[in-house]
Structure formats: C-alpha cells, structure tokens
Structure 1
C-alpha cells in the first residue's frame, strides 16, 4: 500500500510538473500603446487580481455570491467585456499573459462602465492550481486558443487530459467547460480528450459539437471566416461528478 501511494504521489507531482513546464503559449512582449499603458497604470487597482499561492475568496473579491465565469486567454478582451456587460448578474474573471491585451481589456471595461470583471496577468495553469479554489467556478471558457497546428507541437495544446481534470476540480457540480476553435483538427482533439475525461457529460445531443450559444459573441474574426467558408466548432461539457 505504501509503495503504491508513493507511486501515485510521484505520478501526480510529475503531471503537475509536466503542465507547468510545457507551456501552451509563447510570451511575446508586444509594444504597449499609450492608451494601454495608461489603462494598466490607472485601472489595475480596480480590475486587477494578483496571482497567489493560496486560494482567493472570489465572493469577497466581488462583494457578492453570484455565478462565477472564468475565461482563459481573452486576447484583447473585447468579447469578454461584451459578455460581462450583457450579464451584470454574473461575475467574470479573465486570464491573459500578454500585457497589451490586458491593457486593452481594462480600457474597454472602463469605457463600457463594466463593474463585474476582474483580470489576471499570469499563467492560467498556475492560477488554476493555486489561486482558484476547488468547486468555485460555474463556467470556464476557452475561446480560440493557440491550435499549435504542427503535429510536433500538439503537446503544447492546453486541452489535455491532466488540464481537464484540473478544471474539473475547480468547477462546481453542474459547472460547464465551454470551448471554441476555428481549427477542425483541434476541435477533433478537444472532443476526443473530453469524451475520455471522467466526470464530464457532453451537452451536445449527438455527443459532438453544439451550436454557438447566444452568450458567446460573434467576433469580426468569425464573421470574416464564415464569409470565407471557414468553420467554427463549439464544445460544452458539464461536470457531473
């Protein structure tokens, strides 16, 4: 029993190390505009959250006990701000590693007078592992992540079995993991990973993809893709146990 327990512990540690070492992103330090720098300097104290090694009390952060929606990799933040503005009864948390996107998101949130939004500028895996408490999220969103389309780079894709089980811990019972991608191969990969993930049920009637829900904004990027005949695939899985 002792040997088996030790082996399981070592395996879990190795899995966590694997997720930390193999990044799903490349940190490109783009140049900040004056507006983005101003937003970071001026509005971070109102909208920014700092990574910490212990769970954050999200209800205290927002001053209320409402549904919590976390988005991983919000880019420039336009759709995240739009969703937060459209659903003031929910609290939104965004994670992004690129400073220009964080600055743009803060600026847009202020311009749109959005109050139910907080953002992290940090690695999402580390935040989920340490800063987000278990069973605290109602929804996790992952929209158009880097597909790492070359086969030798598939190991960098964020949707992997270990990552999905990390999300499962953070979601409340009945919570939803919502993904979207415009790369068919990545959609197939996501579906395969999720179909093999314990504790989740596909919300699609035919156990495949779902139609884009109204709460996910249709981006200009998607509209252009539709005109060119490109596909977009949404997947929604509910935590059952």
Structure 2
C-alpha cells in the first residue's frame, strides 16, 4: 500500500517543541531536555502520520513518547498533530531510527519500543533495508529497562516470522507473547492509520510483544 497524500500543515503551528532533526541532537540524548521531567519513555520507530503518538500521549499523560520518522514530510505532519492537540508529552525526530538507537540512546533508558508496520521492502535485493535486523534488536535490548517491552506488528507473514527469528537469535527477550486483536469501538479506534486500513480491508495483522527480563 502506498502512502496517502497528506493534508497541508497549518503554517501558524509552532513545531519547535515537538520536532527536531536527528543530527542537531546532543549525544547522548536526554529525554529531560525535551520533556522537562523524568518520566517513563516509550519510543516509536516509524511514526508515520502520528496516530499512535497522539493517542498514546493523550491517554497516558504520565508517560513521554518519542517518535522517529525517516520521511521529513511525515515527521513534520506527526509533529503538527501533537502541536495542534497541545500534547507536551510527545515529540518527533526526523531521521534514521537505526542511527538514533545506536548513537544517541543511552543504556537502560527506555520503557517500551513500538514498531508498527515497517516497510517490508518486498524485493529480495532490498531486504537488507528492513528495519528489523540484528543490529537494531541488539540496541533495543541494550536501551530497554528491565521489564521493558518491544511491540512489533506487521501485515506481512514472512516478515513477521523472519523478525521473530531475529529477536530469538540475538536478544534475551521473553516472548513472543500473543497480542489479541481488540474490536474497534469507533471508526478511528486503531493503533495506527495503517492498522485501520488493513483491518477495514479485511487483511490479517500479525502482532507480537516481547519483555526484557
């Protein structure tokens, strides 16, 4: 499925608090410098239009949420949604999530990592571009606090099983634990826009959750 055309961002919105460029960040990255407090931190890899960030931040104000999005227009769109909703416990970084995990995130700094519907890179010669790879999984294990969670969902069965094998082979995470599908109570009661599209079209979603001992 291709990405839909985005609505224009209101130029009056101030994105300075909730949007930043990866290469402008200090190392190691410090959540207090962004959110102004010490709170549990959850990171989403591939923020897309930002539905997960907005809903999660609004629903759990005692937790801070950080999205990493490689597409500039989507990163700004997601940040604009946060600014419009006046959510101060979520922000978006434009850049490569693999670099952010490897070079910026300190050990034992994250309570949960969310990876929902990453690009499957269908062609065999492009598989090396998949975000679910050994290096990222090792970094996820490194940055997760004990008891921290990794959530991974996709609508591609082959990618799902390949990813489970990668996690099992390079990180001592408990799981995969099954994640039951929750009935949607409203037209927008989904975790991401992509989940909404797949489910409304009758597609299958493969969900997993892992826990760091």
The interval holding the TM-score normalised by the smaller chain is: 0.7 to 0.9
In the TM superposition, what is the alpha-carbon distance from 1:147 to its structure 2 partner? Answer: 0.6
Aligned to 1:153: 126
2:48 is aligned with 1:75 = yes
User: In 2 relative to 1, CA 62–180 (structure 1 residues): closer, same or farther, beyond 3 Å?
Assistant: same
Q: Whose Rg is larger?
A: 1
Query: Once the 2 structures are TM-superposed, how far is the Cα of residue 63 of structure 1 from its aligned partner?
Result: 1.8
Q: Verify the 8 A CA contact 2:79 2:91 in the aligned structure 1.
A: no
Mark the CA change 1:210 to 1:117 in structure 2 (over 3 Å): closer, same or farther. same
Deviation at 1:218, TM superposition (A): 3.9
Q: Deviations over 1:169-198 (max 9, x none)?
A: 111122111111011111111111112233
Aligned counterpart in structure 1 of residue 204 of structure 2, from 221, 226, 231 = 231
Cα RMSD for the two superposed structures = 2.6
1:217 aligns with one of 187, 190, 200: 190
CA distance in 2, matches of 1:223, 1:50: 29
2:35 is the alignment partner of 1:62: yes
Q: What's the offset of the Cα at 1:70?
A: 0.5
Which structure 1 segments of 5+ residues have no match? 1-27
Q: Secondary structure in 2 aligned to 1:46?
A: coil
Between Structure 1 and Structure 2, how many residues are aligned? 204
Give the structure with the higher percent helix: 1
Note closer, same or farther for the CA distance 1:186–1:136 as it changes in structure 2 (3 Å cut): same
TM-score by length of structure 1 reads 0.75
Query: Residue 164 and residue 48 in structure 1: after superposition, are their counterparts in 2 closer, same or farther (change >3 A)?
Result: same
Residue 95 of structure 1 deviates from its aligned partner by 0.7
- CA deviation vs aligned residue, 1:178-227 (integer Å, no higher than 9, x gap): 111011111111111112233211051xxxx422479x934454344334
Mapped pair 1:35 → 2:9: yes
Please tell me whether residue 166 in structure 1 is matched to residue 139 in structure 2: yes
Aligned-partner SS, 1:142: strand
Q: Is the 8 A contact 2:113 2:150 kept in 1?
A: yes
